[in-house]
Amino acid sequence: MSSSKLSDPIVRQSIDTIRLLAADAVEKANSGHPGTPMEAAPIAYLLYLRHLEHNPTNPEWAGRDRFILSCGHASTLIYSMLHLTGYDLSLDDIKNFRQFGSKTAGHPEFGHVPGVETTTGPLGQGVAVAVGMAMGAQYLSQQVDADLFDYRTWVICSDGDLMEGVSAEAGSLAGHLQLGNLNYVYLDNKITIEGNTDLAFTEDVGTRYLAYGWHVERVEGENLPEIDAAMERAKNDPRPSIIIARTHIGIGAPNKQDTAGAHGAPLGGDELALTKQAYGRDPQETFVVPAEVAEHMVGCQDRGAKLEQQWQQLFEQKKSTPQMAGWLAVRQGELPAGWDADLPVFTAEDGAKATRQASGAAINGLAAKMPFLIGGSADLAPSNNTEIKGAGSWLPGQSARNIHYGIREHAMGSIMNGLCHTPGLIPFAGTFFVFADYMRPAIRMAALMGLAPIYVMTHDSIGLGEDGPTHQPVEHLASLRAMPNLTVIRPADANETSEAWKAAIANRKGPTMLVLSRQGLPTVDRNKFAPVAEVQKGGYVLAPETGELQIILLASGSEVQHAMAAQDTLQADGIGTRVVSMPSWELFEAQDAAYREQVLPAACTKRVSMEAGSTFGWERYVGLQGKAIGMDEFGASAPAGELMQHFGFTTENLVAVAKQLLD
């Protein structure tokens, strides 16, 4: 469609159809947000029919542009667009909005509907994930092929998205990196749930983004030629762009336009009827798609098919290059031959080694064989040991394997999700374990979507010492283990750390968190004790009992050394003692019941666990007759050894508790 045809009646008729489909869906569900889809309809129309390079008949085409509806509460907007442009989403699906088992959930869910690129969920996540998607496209463009991966990421966002702090972190980094393939359209409607934005949000958004280094446009939300031209300029600017569109929530609703009443509730039968009359539609009819609108909207498939065909022709010419062949293999879920061959192996003679150090060695062992393993840190790479040696730094306009996120943990988590959405990339990133609190919304979204970022969390307990209780994550293991589909691994020594990395790379059905020590831990002699490959089972018998089994000692991470030393003392006293290393509850629970019984036989009810964190949850393994040694209080500022002694993480205390339990 040429610009001169934007004034054709079919264009406005199509936009009105988008608006009323959205309003009807919310009304039928008696739940949802009608006003934002109504105001954003012209923008969505221009995107899908003129600017977004997409093919509704093949939503997974690798060269397509990405679109994120960051204000996910306006989900009926994207559902209406997907249906009208020919994606696999029926009118009945829209009628089933917000119902159990429906494709059309209250917020768009990744994997439920073709054409939904990510689950945005909480406000702010979409704009931040988009930064990761734009970074991923830049990496593929610069490291694989510039012609095949020149796609861009479009976002429609709201006041709420830009108020959330994660948007500031993400926008700042995007501007610094000069992500010219990233475009936001901001719906500046001046309304939130509580009323006018003047109640809480009076900043000049355009000036803010100019300060970040973005290209800024201002348009009227109903002026199609103006919006169209701004989108074209955004595509051609080397900076990330934000188009600020002055829109009107619930536009066309005579009593609710420009009010909070159009935000989080149906318009109501009477108001919806009046709205339809205002648009020249029969107020008694619902879910109406005029035949001429259906024909017009689905016409974008021809454009999309041609774009994809051109891409596929170019792809056929280039798919045999080494870079493309490598990318294709990883995209299809394959790992390079011998990918784990260079993982480090440590011996007892190596002495004490912090698991964060072992992790750094593992990263570099993997990186040599895995060119699409990319990572970074929230300004803590020297402490997290996350640097890929000799791989360069990601700088403005130039991608590389080492990403400097700055002190932006929340955005880092969300950006990792965007990188995970980029086919072929395997992202990891590090920070101190306590700062998982800043990342938690993004971690949860990764777990919900089944994405597989790898979190390198160091300084895992009171063992970090003098920084004190603000930096000592005593409750974090328990809280993160409670999150569905997140695998938490806290290795006991350097070799368990290598195996933890192997598990994180091999098991890509959800996120993995490696929880690593600051302090040095002794390396277990694997010539005497169980093979380290047992880590893949989550929990295993590290040191079996001598004689009749009387008590089981369970531990993870830095406390396994005390369990092994306690075993020596107890067995010298004639007490048959088993040591179980439990680096990952999630991996252990994934084993069959027979294996779990083999490790933790029900007949042995005397059990003691030791972990430098909350005792919450350990009752599942120690039972009613057992004892969990842990921390149900905050730590303190002191040298690590002194803290461990004070809070009872010693061999002597473990022996005493075990004997008391047996008595």
Residue range 506-549, pLDDT digits in tens: 999 999 999 999 999 999 999 999 999 999 999 999 999 999 99
Within a domain: 324: no
* Any domain includes 427: yes
What sign has the CA pseudo-torsion 81, 86, 87, 88? positive
Query: How far does Cα 68 stand from its chain's mean position?
Result: 14
The residue segments making up the domain with residue 646 are 536-662
Same domain, 191 and 245: yes
326 in a domain, yes or no?
no
Q: Would you say residue 550 lies in a domain? A: yes
Q: Is the pLDDT of residue 3 over 80?
A: no
How many structural domains are present in the chain? 3
Selected catalytic residue, list 39, 109, 217, 409: 409
Out of 307, 335, 362, pick the residue that ends a domain.
Answer: 307
pLDDT exceeds 60 at position 2 = no
Specify the CATH number for the domain of residue 370: 3.40.50.970
Please tell me whether residues 39 and 187 are part of one structural domain: yes
CA distance 566 to 197: 62
CA angle, residues 62, 102, 81, in degrees to nearest 5: 50
Are the CB atoms for 497 and 481 separated by under 8 Å? Answer: no
Side-chain half-sphere CA neighbours of 31 within 13 A: 9
DSSP 8-state symbol, 50: I
Q: Are residues 587 and 622 in the same domain?
A: yes
Two tokens, residue 461: 């307990």
Whether residue 506 is found in the same domain as residue 544: no
Same domain? 376 vs 430: yes
Instruction: Give yes or no: residues 300 and 364 share one domain.
Output: no
> Residue 553 above 50 pLDDT?
yes
Note whether 191 and 223 are same-domain residues.
Answer: yes
CA dihedral 453, 63, 116, 206 (to 10 degrees): 90
568-595 mean pLDDT: 98
Tell me, yes or no, whether 134 and 199 share the same domain: yes
pLDDT at 558: 98
Q: DSSP string covering 381-434, please?
A: HHHHT---TTS-B-BTTB--SEEE--S-HHHHHHHHHHHHTSTT-EEEEEEEGG
Examine residue 24 and state whether it is found in any structural domain, yes or no.
yes
Residue 623's CATH number: 3.40.50.920
Residue found by looking up tokens 């209250």 in the block = 106
Q: Return the pLDDT at 5.
A: 87
Over residues 335-393, the pLDDT tens digits come to 999 999 999 999 999 989 999 999 999 999 999 999 999 999 999 999 999 999 999 99
**Amino acid (one-letter) located at 460:** D
CB 97 within 8 A of CB 76: yes
Q: What angle do the packed helices 165-177 and 409-420 form, to 10 degrees?
A: 70
Residue 413: its pLDDT value, please?
98
Q: Are residues 541 and 657 in the same domain?
A: yes
162 by DSSP, 3-state: which? helix
What tokens appear for 85 in the block? 């442009």
The CA distance from 498 to 343, in Å, is: 6
Name the domain boundary from 491, 521, 551: 521
Same-domain status, 121 and 258: yes
Q: Is residue 526 part of a domain?
A: no
Q: Is 295 a catalytic residue?
A: no
Number of residues that this document lists for the chain: 663
Residues 552 and 507 in one domain: no
Residue 497 within any structural domain of the chain = yes
> According to the 3-state scheme, what is the secondary structure of 243-306?
EEEECCCCCCCCCCCCCHHHCCCCCCHHHHHHHHHHCCCCCCCCCCCCHHHHHHHHCHHHHHHH
In a domain, 259, yes or no: yes
Q: What is the pLDDT of residues 192-248, one digit of tens each?
A: 999 999 999 999 999 999 999 999 999 999 999 999 999 999 999 999 999 999 999
User: Which pTM value belongs to this model?
Assistant: 0.97
| Band of pLDDT at residue 427, cut at 50, 70 and 90 | very high
For 316, residues 6+ apart whose C-beta sits below 8 A from its C-beta are none
Question: What are the residues whose beta carbons fall under 8 Å from the beta carbon of 594, sequence distance 6 or more?
Answer: none
The per-residue pLDDT of the chain, averaged, comes to 97
Give residue-wise pLDDT tens across range 78-101.
999 999 999 999 999 999 999 999
Q: Write out pLDDT tens, residues 597-638.
A: 999 999 999 999 999 999 999 999 999 899 999 999 999 999
| Structure confidence by residue, pLDDT tens digits, 454-476 | 999 999 999 999 999 999 999 99
In a 10 Å sphere around its CB, with 0-12 CB exposed, 13-18 middle and 19+ buried, how is residue 376 labelled?
A: buried
Q: What are 332's two structure tokens?
A: 């299809």
pLDDT digits (tens, 9 = 90+) for 21-57: 999 999 999 999 999 999 999 999 999 999 999 999 9
Q: Which of 493, 521, 549 is the last residue of a domain?
A: 521
111 & 151 share domain: yes
H helices of 30-101, in order, are: 35-46, 75-85, 91-95
Q: Beta 454-458 vs 426-432: how paired, if at all?
A: parallel
Average pLDDT over residues 288-317: 97
Binned at pLDDT 50, 70 and 90, residue 4 comes out as: very low
